[in-house]
Amino acid sequence: MQRKPLFRPILLALILCGLAPGARAAGEGVDLMQRSWPENGPLGTFDRAAVQRGFQVYKEVCHTCHSLNYLAFRNLAALGFSDQELQAIAAGYKVPALDDEGQPIEREAKPFDHMPAPYANPAQARAANGGGLPPDLSLIVKAREDGLDYVYSLLHGFGDPPAGHQVPEGLHYNRYFPGGNIAMPQPLTDGQVTYADGTNASLDQMAADVTQFLHFVAEPKLEERKLTGLKAGIFLVVFAGVMLAYKRKTWRDLH
């Protein structure tokens, strides 16, 4: 009986934690598109095929403008790429290096290298993008509220502005971008890439896949972290049971 007053608030807190924030308004109060992401939830794991496809979309489309400074090629091993595949992927890029006499040269990237950025510096990136700076995408899904749904929605959000909405020269209308005017031109349209695994590359498919890839880059240890949390949870439940049994026995002995 005594347990109830404490038990109720704890139960309530647990229920509230479990109810993740639902649709959230972005920009001008527009509800984001939502999707159930396989890696979310207490036991969720990355859909490796989707993340690999997303890497292809990033490589072939987004990398023209956006860097991924935190990604080393070897990090992709977690997606199931073999050593040979990683070497081949890395070899597709050039990184700055020094020759034996200390002169700057370029060499083929190796799996331990980080993915080279498309522009040498922010000024060059702005100059090539009409003054807009394409942000590094390594942490973008963590940096934005409801980041997965946001990035996914943003890639769908291009189109004609509503009547009366002015789009300044050089910008593009996107209904999910705060303010509605974005310096990024629409990057994805149906059939933009030819997927290596034969999946139909609809805009929706590519948007979902590249979002999952960006989540993997931002949280490569997500699965390990969940497993640790699960183990700690099981331990706590067992431990609480033992303590309860012990308490009962102690009080029984006293009465």
- Of 33, 50, 51, 62, the residue at the interface with ligand HEC (CB under 6 A) is 62
DSSP state, residue 49: H
- Of 41, 80, 159, 185, the residue at the interface with ligand HEC (CB under 6 A) is 185
- Let me know: does 210 contact 58? Beta carbons within 8 Å: yes
- Of 210, 212, 216, 217, the residue at the interface with ligand HEC (CB under 6 A) is 210
Q: Which of 174, 178, 179, 172 is nearest to 145 (CA)?
A: 178
SS3 for 25? strand
What is the C-alpha separation between 26 and 24, in angstroms, rounded?
6
For residues 65-94, which are near ligand HEC according to CB under 6 A? 65-66
Instruction: State the Rg of the chain over Cα.
Output: 24
Task: For residue 188, state whether it binds ligand HEC (rule: CB under 6 A).
Answer: yes
Task: For residue 147, state whether it binds ligand HEC (rule: CB under 6 A).
Answer: no
- Letters for 97-116 (x = contact with ligand HEC by CB under 6 A, - = none) are --------------------
- Of 151, 201, 208, 218, the residue at the interface with ligand HEC (CB under 6 A) is 151
Q: What are phi and psi of 108, to 5 degrees?
A: -65, 140
DSSP state, residue 105: E
Helix ranges (DSSP H) in the chain? 4-18, 48-60, 83-91, 122-128, 140-143, 147-156, 203-218, 222-254
17 is known to lie in a ligand binding site: no
Task: For residue 218, state whether it binds ligand HEC (rule: CB under 6 A).
Answer: no
Q: How far is the CB of 125 from ligand HEC (least distance, A)?
A: 8
For helices 48-60 and 203-218, what crossing angle results, to 10°? 100
- Let me know: does 65 contact 125? Beta carbons within 8 Å: yes
Q: How far is the CB of 78 from ligand HEC (least distance, A)?
A: 20
- Of 154, 193, 217, 218, the residue at the interface with ligand HEC (CB under 6 A) is 154
Task: For residue 148, state whether it binds ligand HEC (rule: CB under 6 A).
Answer: no
Task: For residue 134, state whether it binds ligand HEC (rule: CB under 6 A).
Answer: yes
Is the Cβ of residue 103 or residue 121 nearer to ligand HEC in the bound state? 121
HSE value, Cβ hemisphere, 13 Å, CA-based, for 120: 3
Binding-site residues: 62, 65-66, 184
Binding-site residues for heme c: 62, 65-66, 184
Q: Which residues contact ligand HEC by CB under 6 A?
A: 57, 61-62, 64-66, 129, 132-135, 140, 144, 151, 154-155, 182-185, 187-188, 210
